[in-house]
Every structure is written in structure tokens, then in C-alpha cells.
Amino acid sequence: MRKRSKSRRKQRKSIVKIFFKYFVYSGFCSIVALFLILLYFARDLPDLQNLKTEIRNPSVVIQTYDGNIIGSYGDLYEDVIKVKDLPQHVPAAFMAVEDKRFFSHFGIDFIGFFRAAYNNYVSRRVVQGGSTITQQLAKNILIGEGIVSHYDRSIKRKIRELLLALWLEHKFSKTDIMMMYLNRVYFGAGTYGIDAASRKYFDKPAKYLTIFESAVLAGILKAPSKYSPTNHPNYAYERACLVLSAMEEQGFIKSAKEIENTQGKNAFKDNIKHNKCNMYFCDYAYEEAKKILGEIGDDIIVVTTFSAEKQKIAEEAVKYYIDTESENYNFSQAAFICLGRNGAIQALIGGKDYTATQFNRATQAIRMPGSAFKLFIYGAALEYGYQPSDMISDAPIEIAGWKPKNYKWNPRGAISILESFSYSVNSVSIRLAQTIGLPRIANFAKKLGIYNVSCNDLSVALGTTPVTLKDLTSAYASFMDGNSVWTYCILEIRAKDGKVLYQQKEPLKVPIFDKELLDSIRTLLRSVVSIGGGRAANVNNYIYGKTGTNGDWDAWFIGFYDPADNKKAGVSIGVWIGNDNNKIKMTPNSTGGRIPARICARFLTNLLDKNKKESMPTALSSYKSLGDMLLKE
């Protein structure tokens, strides 16, 4: 028996010994394997001593001539800002909503990770993230260094992120990590870093951010597009209030409700830059900058001719009539453009809602101008030798079965050219075109920048030549002084260091009409507004213009305001209304003399009431000698 028990004890010891050796061996092999795996994943981690400062698209900042930023493209960065230069509530807002245990973990927050995993499991969808600020910084660095892509969701990427997070915690202080995070994090709309985001959304450096503004920026990170203050201000506001509540729970602030009431409700709408309508202008300026420079390789600032005052007045006028009359006249879109005397684009509206569609109906839409094109018919006729007082038959006309009608006009046998133009009598326009010939009309239009006039179709006399609102308004602007006018929107392009890359030259004053012809054409245009179809635009004796109607598809008013006692105040205005879908007609009699003329009148009335003169800023002292020429109003 004793021999058996000794044998069993030896056998048990032998098993334990073997198990222990196996355990030690397995543990050693596991450690070696883990080391080799970590070494494999760590082999292409970035050198933290030599990080690339940026892998991005060059930023293009669009600003007004007096220095206000109205748009940006590419990836917008500002200089690195230190945490010590920020108010304490700025990093506090980010910690409250992104990583409340930032100062207690070592780069990985297991409590937060398991909490997020549980909540996501219960909700059966991703409702909460478990990444720390350090992990988010690590991910940002990996993407910025080109090691992983934005769309990489692999285990390999996650392991690299964890390793880099641990290394960051070992290498840098918490303050350094927070500084790198705030300067690299993405805030939407191509904007990186807290200072760039502060300037974009609040037009101020980050060191001046209020508690509520800090909460807005911290709230963006969850979904930059959804919580963008410019795209969805209501969502941004609600998200900021949640951030404030988190800050209160964690003791960063005393009362979230008090901050909301004092800083949010009173200042949110004023501080956030709502500039969606501006974006039609910004898009156009951006494309023009690319035409001027070619490929854009470095950060640039584009100084434009944009007038915030005129844009605001134009938006109000267009919105008023869309809100009050669009159902009555069955139109869904409107476009507006305002030019200075020499063609500087000062206000631009490309449609009802930029968020819904970025198609610019002022610069891209090619539509039939209807009677607004008759300016070229009558202008060519006067150049040919006709006088405004000459009499022309207004009887109905038929050409090879084509019987164009007059709109609300009872023939009298013969009427003057002046009266015919004022009331847009189609039969007279056609007879003039027959007499002087379509080539003469085409040549006259070319002088004014309209190049595609057909010389084979008399319907040209009724406005079947497709044009853009911008080009048609530019052509009318030539009758302010009798000089050729070419639109432009850029005054200067400069690099971020201030180096001037492009500067708009003084527009050449090339006379295209003699004084007698110019006076005659201006007489026709004034008559339309004073007694004819454009009477709704007759704000005062210095308004000139012409209405246009293309069936019930397009309605226009094109003209200019040219006061005799203040030439600098002159502006050219173009208005169009209609529907994008040509299968949808406006209501009958939706003429240019109705809504388009009224929009023009409302714009001019409000502009004249403001009675303000814009001046060039001291920051653009290089324009002092050109200011009056480039931006005459």
C-alpha cells in the first residue's frame, strides 16, 4: 500500500511538473508571439518626432474686399495654438463629451470601452464610442501620415491605433496630447483645428470662444455634417446643449441652463455665420480663381467684389416674393445679380436654396430671354439709322405660316419705335429684324458679349437666343456709359504669406456707341419703366430696363439704376424667375413686368433707403488708386 501511495504521489508530481513546464513554455511562446505581432504592427508607425504637419488639399479662402470671410474650400488650417492660450472651458467641453477620464487613463479607457460596448449591444446599433482623446489623436495621425485611410475599419488599423495611443501617452504629457488633438481634429467643411473652426464658424480666434461656442464646436465632432452650425443650426444648438449638460455633470460649469440662456439663446443666431446664399457667389469666385491660377497648389486668399450689404438686401427682396407670390404665379426658382458700373459682381443669388441644389441659375442656367432680347433688335435698328420717333406698322404679321401674337396690344396701324419698345410689340420687332437683317443684329449683340445669335431664324426677334442672366445683365450694363462691360468678381489673389499672385487690372473703357446712339437707347429703356411693361420697377426717374417673357417658362427684368448726380452709385440688376423643369409652366401672364420688376423695385428701394457708400479697406491699400474704378456702385 505504501509503495502504491508513493507511486501515486510521484506520478502526481510528475504531472504537475509537466503541466508547469508546459504552462511556462506556452506563456513564453505567447509572449514571444505577442511581441512579434506587436513588432509587426508597430514597424510602420509614424515617427512622432517628425510628423507631417499636413497632408491635405490647399485651402482657398473667399473674402469680401473689406476682409470678411464668406467661404472656404479645401482643408482649412490655422497656426498651432497652445492649450495654455485657450480658456479652460474649451478643452473642458471636449473632455466632457469625448473623454471625461482623460486625465486618469493611460491612453485606453477600459471602463468607457466596456460601457460603450454594452450600450451598443443593448441598442443593437452604434450609439456610443469608446475611443479616448488619445486614441482619436492616434487615428488622426495614422490617417494624416497616409498609413491608413478614413474608411479602414480593420483589426490591423485598430491595433495600430492602440499601440500609437500607448506610445503617445508614454512620450507626451496630457497637455501636449490635448494640444495636438485640438489642432488636428476635423470640424467639417474642410476645417481642421480649433482655431480654424473658431474663425470659420464664429469669425474670431479660439482664445475668445465663449462656453457656449466651445460646446458648439465640441458637439460637431460626433457628426460634422449633421451638427454643422452653418448647415443645420438647430441641430448644432441642440447638440451644444447636450455638451453643456455633460460639462455640468462633470463639474466644469455650474449651470448648463444659465449658459444656454445667457450665451446660447441670445447669441447663437448672431454668432454663427449663416451664409448659404453667399455660397452661390463663393462657388463662382472659386471657379474663377482656378481659371486664373490653373492648378491651385498652395493656400490662397481670394479677395472679391462681394458686397454683404447688397447681398442681404437682394436676399430679402427675392425671399419676400418667393414666400408671398410663388404659389400664385407657380414659380419655384429665382435668380438675381447686381453689377457695379464696370462689371464687378456685388451680389449674386443662384436659386431659392443652396442646400437643396448648388446649380447657379444666374451664371449657369441658359434660358430664353423673350422680349428682354429686343434691346439688341432695336439697338441695331437705331445704329442702322432709325430714330425713336420713326413710325412702323404694328399690324399682325405672318411669315410662311408663322403668326406671332402681340401680348395685350390692339393694333393701331403704325406706332413709333419708342412706343413699340415700351410695350414690347412683337410685330414691330419682327419687321425691324426683316429690314435691317439678322447679321446686323448678331454683330450688335457681339459688341455686348452675346455671341450665339442665329442669322437664319426670325424668331430671334422675339428672344429665342439662349443666354445666362449674368451675360444679359452685363450687356445691359454697357448702356450706363456706352462702354463695353465684362463681369468679374475677383480683385486680388494672394498667398497666405501676403504675396500677391493676381490683381485685377483697371477695366478698359472701350466705347462701343456714340453719344447720340447711347442717348436714344437709354430713352427706350427709360420709357419701358416710366410708361411701359416695366412700370413696377419705376422707383425713381433714374431706373432703366426691359422686361422679358418666354411664354410661361421664363420671366425677366434686366436694367440699371444710374442717377445723374451720383454716377458712383450706379448698379445694373438682373432678375429671373421660373422653374427648373420646363414641363412645369408658370401661371398665364407671369410676365417680367410682374414679379421680376417688383423684386428689382424692392431691392432698389431698400438699397436707396440704406444710403450707404462702401469704401475700400486700409488692408488693401494697393487698391486706393483703383477703388473708384473697380467698385463703383
pLDDT surpasses 60 at 628:
no
Q: What is the maximum alpha-carbon separation in the chain? A: 143
Q: What is the pLDDT of residues 144-196, one digit of tens each?
A: 665 655 555 666 667 777 777 787 788 888 888 888 888 888 888 778 888 88
Structure confidence by residue, pLDDT tens digits, 315-351: 999 999 999 999 999 999 999 999 999 999 999 999 9
Residue 428 clears pLDDT 90, i.e. is over it: yes
Per-residue pLDDT band for 618 (boundaries 50, 70, 90) equals: very low
The residue type at 328: N
Which of 95-109, 119-133, 141-155, 366-380 has maximum average pLDDT? 366-380
Residue with the larger pLDDT of the pair 263 and 17? 263
pLDDT, residue 521, reads: 96
525-530 average pLDDT score? 96
E strands, 436-539, where? 490-495, 500-503
Distance in angstroms (rounded) separating the CA atoms of residues 435 and 428: 11
CA–CA separation, 487 and 482 (whole Å): 15
Q: Are strands 571-578 and 333-339 parallel, antiparallel or unpaired?
A: antiparallel
Residue 313 C-alpha cell reads as 438686401
Mean pLDDT of 289-294: 90
CA distance 120 to 114: 10
Question: What is the full DSSP assignment across 226-294?
Answer: TT-TTT-HHHHHHHHHHHHHHHHHTTS-S-HHHHIIIIIHHHHHHHS---TTHHHHHHHHHHHHHHHHS
Range of weakest confidence among 146-155, 376-385, 567-576: 146-155
The answer to whether residues 340 and 631 touch, using CB atoms and an 8 Å cutoff, is: yes
Q: What's the pLDDT score for residue 65?
A: 86
pLDDT at 295: 77
What local confidence, expressed as pLDDT, does residue 161 receive? Answer: 74
- The whole-number pLDDT of residue 14 equals 64
| Residue of 96, 351, 61, 375 whose CA lies nearest to 245 | 96
Amino acid at 282: C
For residue 41, which of 177, 147, 140, 132 has the smallest C-alpha distance?
Answer: 147
DSSP H or E segment with residue 82: none
Question: Any idea what the Cα angle at residue 232 is, between residues 229 and 235, rounded to 5°?
Answer: 90
Structural domains in the chain, CATH included, are: 60-271 (1.10.3810.10), 325-368+466-492+501-513+534-633 (3.40.710.10), 370-465 (3.40.710.10)
Query: Of the given ranges (155-159, 498-502, 524-528), which has the lowest mean pLDDT?
Result: 155-159
Candidate from 23-27, 28-32, 185-189, 502-506 with smallest mean pLDDT: 28-32
Name the band, by pLDDT with cuts 50, 70 and 90, for residue 115.
Answer: low
Average pLDDT of the residues in 205-226: 90
Q: What is the DSSP string of 140-205?
A: HHHHHTTSS-TT---HHHHHHHHHHHHHHHHHS-HHHHHHHHHHH-B-STTBBSHHHHHHHHHSS-
Q: What is the pLDDT of residue 52?
A: 45
**Which whole number is the average pLDDT over 452-481?**
92
**Main-chain dihedrals φ then ψ at residue 221, nearest 5 degrees:** -60, -30
Highest mean pLDDT pick, 31-40, 126-135, 567-576: 567-576
All cell numbers assigned to 631: 467698385
Angle, alpha carbons 165-166-169 (nearest 5°): 85
> Can you give the pLDDT at residue 196?
84
What are 147's three cell numbers?
A: 498609413
DSSP string, 514-531: -HHHHHHHHHHHHHHHHT
At residue 34, the pLDDT reads 45
Could you tell me how far CA 37 lies from the centroid of its own chain? 48
pLDDT over threshold 70, residue 625: no
- What does pTM read for this prediction? 0.70
Work out the pLDDT band at 408, boundaries 50, 70, 90: confident
| One-letter amino acid for residue 78 of the chain | E
d(CA 452, CA 366): 12
| Sign of the CA dihedral with 236 first, then 241, 245, and 251 last | positive
Average pLDDT across the chain, whole number: 82
Share of the chain above pLDDT 90, in %: 46
With beta carbons less than 8 A apart as the criterion, state whether 198 and 215 touch.
Answer: no
Sheet of 554-561, strand order: 345-349, 333-339, 571-578, 554-561, 543-550
Q: Which three cell numbers mark 360?
A: 447657379
Would you state the pLDDT for residue 589? Answer: 85
Residue pair 270/233 in contact by the 8 Å Cβ criterion? no
| Top-confidence residue, 22 or 163 | 163
Q: What are phi and psi of 565, to 5 degrees?
A: -95, -5
> What is the per-residue pLDDT for 605?
95
- In this model, does residue 55 exceed pLDDT 70? no
Residue 390's DSSP bridge partners are: none
Q: Answer positive or negative: Cα dihedral of 510, 513, 519, 523.
A: negative
* Residue 256 reports pLDDT greater than 90: no
According to DSSP, the residues that pair with 556 across neighbouring strands are 548, 576
Contact at 8 Å (CB) between 305 and 492? no
